Structure 1
């Protein structure tokens, strides 16, 4: 679906998700994230970039596990510490994974994806056309109910800061693994919140599309 069509449907309140397979897994237990290998940090930083063309193939379970762990995984089990910072350790940002077979929320403690909705919400995660068919659209959502220790005037800024750190972790993981990614903030907030079933205390922050890079055109 192209951008103009999405804008028109959004104005009419008709930008909605597709159905997903009825037999989608209720919980996807992910393989352990790889803690060794990949490219050195400086090389990953040199290759970090936004890409907006994706191959149609799915990500492997290992790639999905590595990306989600990079975004919000536990890297210090004895403390419950995460790979990305959070003010006052509120851990207010949840990472949702929109895929063809449904919408899932990443549970860092279990290192698993928990089923949220039996619908393909990818096309609602952004006005860009590539979000419809890329294998994975991550959505970063703040739960302000967890931020009671943070002054109200600072909660939104702190949540966006945490989401930005998570998204950069994903960018670097993609650069290290040869995957394509792009961060996005242009989406229909009302339509996406409805498609995801978000509550009053939950705030959409950012989205990030991830997939295999499109093959270069043959000449």
Structure 2
């Protein structure tokens, strides 16, 4: 679907997911992340860029495992994560929109848990390239976990945490031959409805990830 077509549907409140492509498992157990390898940090920073042209080739499970761990996985014995969070609230949930369904990443278990048995990629942003890329990430803040943070600061803190996760994804992508682009032009209400979010949960950002077209 074209960008303008999706935008028009969004204005009418009619932007909807597509049927799932294939059967969605209730849980996807991810292999342990590979904490070695990739480009040195300065080289990854030099290679970091936003891409908007993607191959539809699906990401191997290990690649998906490494990417999600980089975004917000557990990297310490005390439960600390690869991305910061004010007062350790860990308020950001990462949802992975795949062709067979949309999944919430459980960092503690390092697994994906089915949230919606539909293909949500077309509604994770108004741009047309998100429809066919193999993975769209959605960053969702759960304000119920931020009770110790002043109410007036919660949204700003959540955006900072989501931004840190998105940058982790950018750097992992740069060091692994993937492309990525962060997107804020989204229909948050359509995404929230498709994922069955509560009133305490806020859709903040989306991010497309995949192999660059022609790579």
Q: The TM-score by the shorter chain falls in which range?
A: over 0.9
Per the TM alignment, residue 21 of structure 1 is displaced from its structure 2 partner at its CA by 4.7
Confirm or deny: 8 A CA contact 2:188 2:204 kept in the other structure: no
Asked if 1:205 is matched to 2:204, the reply is yes
Once residues 111 and 81 of structure 2 are traced to their aligned partners in structure 1, the CA distance between those partners, rounded to angstroms, is 15
Asked if 1:104 is matched to 2:85, the reply is no
> Superposition pairs for residues 35-114 of structure 1, below 5 Å?
35-76=35-76, 78-114=77-113
Per the TM alignment, residue 193 of structure 1 is displaced from its structure 2 partner at its CA by 1.1
Query: What TM-score results when the alignment is normalised by the length of structure 2?
Result: 0.98
Q: CA RMSD in A?
A: 1.0
Unaligned runs of 5+ in 1: none
Confirm or deny: 8 A CA contact 2:133 2:208 kept in the other structure: yes
Which range moved further: 95-104 or 18-27?
18-27
Once residues 79 and 32 of structure 2 are traced to their aligned partners in structure 1, the CA distance between those partners, rounded to angstroms, is 16
SS of 1:127's equivalent in the other structure is coil
Unaligned runs of 5+ in 2: none
Asked if 1:167 is matched to 2:166, the reply is yes
Once residues 106 and 171 of structure 2 are traced to their aligned partners in structure 1, the CA distance between those partners, rounded to angstroms, is 21
Runs of 4+ more than 6 Å apart: none
> Superposition pairs for residues 25-44 of structure 1, below 5 Å?
25-44=25-44
Query: What TM-score results when the alignment is normalised by the length of structure 1?
Result: 0.96
- Number of residue pairs matched? 215
Once residues 204 and 188 of structure 1 are traced to their aligned partners in structure 2, the CA distance between those partners, rounded to angstroms, is 9
Which range moved further: 14-23 or 109-118?
14-23
